[in-house]
Chains A and B, each alone.
Chain A
């Protein structure tokens, strides 16, 4: 069953692979150019120390800016890649068989639908993992080459480490489940994209900040993902219960308007009066692997639930 399962998915898989390889080459080329431009701008010509003529320095800066803008687009594509790859491979897995009627051939042979499905899913999932897994070292180098900050910050986080493997598994299972439910590969793909984006953004904005309890500091943290900042009560590292990060600002503003504050000293007096201190809440780079692990577990867990949905949908399928 493994060989025919592979043969059935081979074409779409090879097409996806060609696109991914082309994208990888594109990233390698633009990344190298940008890394070189960075070096030229900052080191060789000592623009930072204004040794070169001003015009030349401006041109070099422009050149870097252009490459950086391109890098922003590429980063978007790299973030979207696991989702698209997973959906492209997952959506037709069951749906295409139903569309072409070949499920009536496959499901009247001497193996159960569940076994047929599990073999196909394993082959597809393995393919997804291999492709994305092969991309991760390249992406790891690339995120360094484009100098966009700490890996723990969203977008960079999504293309660093191993979390993208869990994304592709989730997208693959989402596509397969939707395909089994909707029975149309095109629709499964079209519905899958917004659902996948919703799941990813939901986790990124509401779950990820709290997956590992965040750190706080009085000064702006370097190499970190800053979640919140503002005035919180002295002795606390977060706003008091029932209060938000905005509440502290409100207290200070009220006090300032009352005393008609004009100087920094007035502001400081208000801060002291309300027994507040200014804090940054953030995920430091040291939480990177822990966050990757927990987020991967969430998406793999979701993929397992979708696997169950797909199995039930396929077992229940009748005309």
Chain B
């Protein structure tokens, strides 16, 4: 782990809503320059984490640091470094698009006015249109353009792709990648569109039921997971040296998603490299049914017919 200051670091971060924890014991460290995906089912605490990083939700426990500073202080220094896209895409609906951009220009010293106008003309959104009259997707794009034009060091994007059609998704991702291509910007974006993320991100954080399941390099996550397929008769035990994340079994075969440290050589199992989507879904499915347990090597994998 590098000694450089992390773009985002949380230590035991938690948020309680009444008696329910929205996020609990969240300790992640996002190195600068990464593009990180934050995935998890609804209510997993993704928005809560992003809001606490943006300084608009107060943690109930632990702390959060953006480039070593607390965003809770809301100093100009920290505010300048953060670009935050709220899930609800709040914009002043009575403003025209051009006025909305001018608002951003007045309030942000690093504002890239050329880029902001460029993005919107590229997306075909006229500057004199009333923000409130735009479609939900267009409003999302204006909100995104405002985040990018601010030129922050850390972009916190809450569901930037929601409410967008596939073409707009691609356009927005293109926009995002173009503006962070210099490697100076760290991005943390939450999304349900796992397939879209795989091509873009190089870091992944999986949240479920208000806990962190994985927070690591995407390459490492892909390399350290394998899909094992075996017949129901032959394969009754997981091979040695693996941690079973999830299992699905039918009458004929058993499928295991496992975490591995070294290659699996057990001949009773067919070894497949899983896609990111398969890994994420396996984690989330097991977590949501409450059966995620660290099954040790040699333990029985039977039971749970599905």
B84 within 8 A of A: yes
Residue in A100, A101, A110, A315 whose beta carbon sits within 8 Å of that of B108 in the complex: A110
**Does B54 contact A108, Cβ atoms closer than 8 Å?**
yes
Asked if A100 and B90 make an inter-chain contact with CB atoms under 8 angstroms apart, the answer reads yes
How far is it, in angstroms, between the C-alpha of A100 and the C-alpha of B132 when the chains are bound?
Answer: 12
Q: Which B residues touch A108, using CB under 8 A? A: 54-56, 79, 82-84, 86
CB pair B109 A105 closer than 8 Å:
no
Is B107 on the interface with A (CB-CB < 8 A)? yes
| A102 CA / B131 CA spacing, docked (Å) | 13
B74 engages A113 (CB within 8 Å): yes
Chain B interface mostly: loop
B106:A101 contact, CB within 8 angstroms = no
Say which residue of B57, B94, B99, B102 sits within 8 Å of A11 (CB atoms).
B94
B87 CB, min distance to chain A CBs, angstroms:
9
Say yes or no: is B177 at the interface (Cβ < 8 Å to chain A).
no
Interface residues on A, range: 20 to 34
Contacts of A104 in B (CB 8 A): 54, 56, 84, 86, 88, 90
Q: Are B107 and A110 in contact (CB under 8 A)?
A: yes
- Closest CB-CB distance, A115 to chain B, in whole Å? 9
Question: Are A318 and B90 in touch, CB under 8 angstroms?
Answer: no
Which residue of chain A has its CB nearest to the CB of B91?
A: A105
Q: Flag if B57 contacts A112 (CB, 8 Å).
A: no
For A1, the chain B residues whose CB sits under 8 A away are: 106-107
Contact pattern, A 88-130, Cβ under 8 Å of B = 1, otherwise 0:
0000000000001111111111111100100000000000000
Q: CB distance B90 to A3 under 8 Å?
A: no
Is the pair B90, A109 in contact by a Cβ cutoff of 8 Å?
no
Per the CB 8 Å criterion, the residue count for chain B at the interface is 35
- A7, B99: Cβ atoms closer than 8 Å: yes
Interchain nearest-CB distance for A236 vs B (Å): 61
A105-B86 contact, Cβ under 8 Å, with A110-B80, A111-B76, A318-B56: yes
* Interface flag for A319 (CB, 8 Å): yes
Given that A105-B90, A112-B74, A315-B74 are known contacts, is A3 also in contact with B57, CB under 8 Å in the complex? no
Within 8 A of A (CB), among B59-112: 72, 74-76, 79-80, 82-84, 86, 88, 90-95, 99, 102-104, 106-110
B58 beta carbon closer than 8 Å to chain A: yes
Kindly state the separation between the CA atoms of A51 and B162 in the bound complex, as whole angstroms: 86
Chain B residues contacting A111 (CB-CB under 8 Å) are 76, 79, 107
Q: Of A8, A100, A110, A319, which one neighbours B57 at CB under 8 angstroms?
A: A319
A290→B88 CA distance, assembly (Å): 53
Q: Say yes or no for A4: interface residue by CB 8 A criterion.
A: yes
**Given A104-B56, A105-B86, A112-B79, also A4-B109 (CB < 8 A):** no
A278-305 residues with Cβ-Cβ distance < 8 A to B are none
**Chain A's nearest CB lies how many Å from the CB of B8?**
15
Contact between A107 and B150, CB atoms less than 8 A apart: no
A152-179 CB contacts (< 8 Å) to partner B = none
Q: How far is the CB of B49 from chain A (nearest CB, A)?
A: 13
Residues of A within 8 Å of B86, CB to CB, are 101, 104-105, 108
Q: In the complex, which residue of chain A has the Cβ closest to the Cβ of B110? A: A110
Interface flags for A1-31 (1: CB within 8 Å of B; 0: not) read 1011001100100000000000000000000
Closest A residue to B88 by beta carbon equals A101
**A110-B150, A112-B75 in contact; A102/B92 too (CB < 8 A)?**
yes
A101 in contact with B79 (CB, 8 Å): no
When distances are taken between beta carbons in the complex, the residues of chain B under 8 Å from A103 are: 90
In the complex, the chain B residue whose C-beta lies closest to that of A115 is: B76
Residues of A within 8 A of B76 (CB): 110-112
Is B90 in contact with A102, judged by CB distance below 8 angstroms? yes
CB distance from B288 to the nearest CB of A (A): 25
Contacts of B74 in A (CB 8 A): 107, 112-113, 315
B51 contacts A by Cβ under 8 Å:
yes
Looking at the assembled complex, report how far the CB atom of B198 sits from the nearest CB atom of chain A, in whole angstroms: 28
The reply to whether A109 and B150 form a contact with Cβ atoms under 8 Å apart is yes
Contact flag A110-B90 (CB < 8 Å), given A4-B102, A315-B74, A319-B56: no
Q: Which residues of B contact A112 (CB under 8 A)?
A: 74-76, 79
How long is the Cα–Cα vector from A3 to B99 in the complex, in angstroms? 10
Closest Cβ of chain B: how far from A273's Cβ, in Å?
74
- CB 8 Å contact bits of B140-183 with A (1 = contact, 0 = none): 00010010001000000000000000000000000000000000
* CA–CA, A95 and B44, complex, Å: 29
Question: A108 to B74, alpha carbons, bound, how many Å?
Answer: 8
Chain B residue nearest in CB terms to A106:
B107
Cα–Cα distance between A104 and B104 once the two chains are bound (Å):
13
The interface centre, meaning the residue of B55, B99, B106 with most chain A CB atoms within 10 A of its CB, is: B106
Q: Which 9 A-B pairs have the closest CB atoms?
A: A318-B58, A109-B107, A101-B90, A108-B84, A110-B108, A110-B80, A102-B90, A105-B90, A4-B103
Which residues from chain B sit less than 8 Å from chain A, CB to CB?
51, 54-58, 72, 74-76, 79-80, 82-84, 86, 88, 90-95, 99, 102-104, 106-110, 143, 146, 150
Write 6 A-B pairs (CB below 8 A) sorted by A numbering. A1-B106, A8-B92, A104-B86, A105-B86, A105-B91, A112-B79
Q: With contacts A102-B91, A103-B90, A110-B150 known, what are 12 further pairs, Cβ within 8 A?
A: A7-B95, A7-B99, A101-B86, A102-B90, A104-B86, A105-B90, A107-B55, A108-B79, A109-B104, A109-B108, A113-B74, A319-B56
